[in-house]
Amino acid sequence: MIKKILIVDDSRAARIGLRSWLLKDREYEIREAGNGKEALEQFNEFKPDLTFLDLTMPVMDGFEALEKIKQINPNAIVLVLTADIQKRTIERVSGLGAFKVLKKPPVKDVIHEALSEVRKYLEEDNLK
């Protein structure tokens, strides 16, 4: 079950937009971070069920943040949101353990579809 979500993006507008979409349909506890360093601090303290992660950010980019998040919790579910959907980028974040890569700017239906995939994955994982 998804209860806690961490949104990581250096764009405040992107964080607000995603937060508003998420909260229209369900109640979630949501925290935000503006860069990868803040993301790691929030991840350690908040222990989210799901993290939305941008790749291009100051201080620490999403690639490094993803790698460190997966070191902290190898089972962490991270959805990468990026405008860089080149094959090489997708392969790199997949290799680092991203659950899925979503094109930025996000489309509400795509976000909700990804949430459904995560819920299904979590349900199947709990059945094992």
Q: Which helix (H) or strand (E) is 101 found in, with range?
A: strand 100-103
The answer to whether 59 and 26 are in contact (CB under 8 A) is no
pLDDT digits (tens, 9 = 90+) for 39-80: 999 999 999 999 999 998 889 899 999 999 999 999 999 999
pLDDT digits (tens, 9 = 90+) for 109-118: 888 899 999 9
CATH number for the domain spanning 67: value is: 3.40.50.2300
Distance separating alpha carbons of residues 104 and 9, to the nearest angstrom: 11
Residue 107 confidence class, pLDDT cut points 50, 70, 90: confident
- For 37, the domain range is 4-127
pTM confidence score: 0.92
Placement of tokens 């607000």 in the chain = 16
Q: Alpha helix (H) ranges present in 8-107? A: 12-25, 36-46, 62-72, 87-96
Number of domains in the chain: 1
Q: What is the mean pLDDT of residues 82-87?
A: 83
CB atoms within 10 A of CB 52: 25
Distance separating alpha carbons of residues 119 and 80, to the nearest angstrom: 16
Residue 32 confidence class, pLDDT cut points 50, 70, 90: very high
pLDDT of residue 123: 85
Give the percent of the chain with pLDDT over 70: 97
Give the percent of the chain with pLDDT over 90: 55
The answer to whether 69 and 39 are in contact (CB under 8 A) is yes
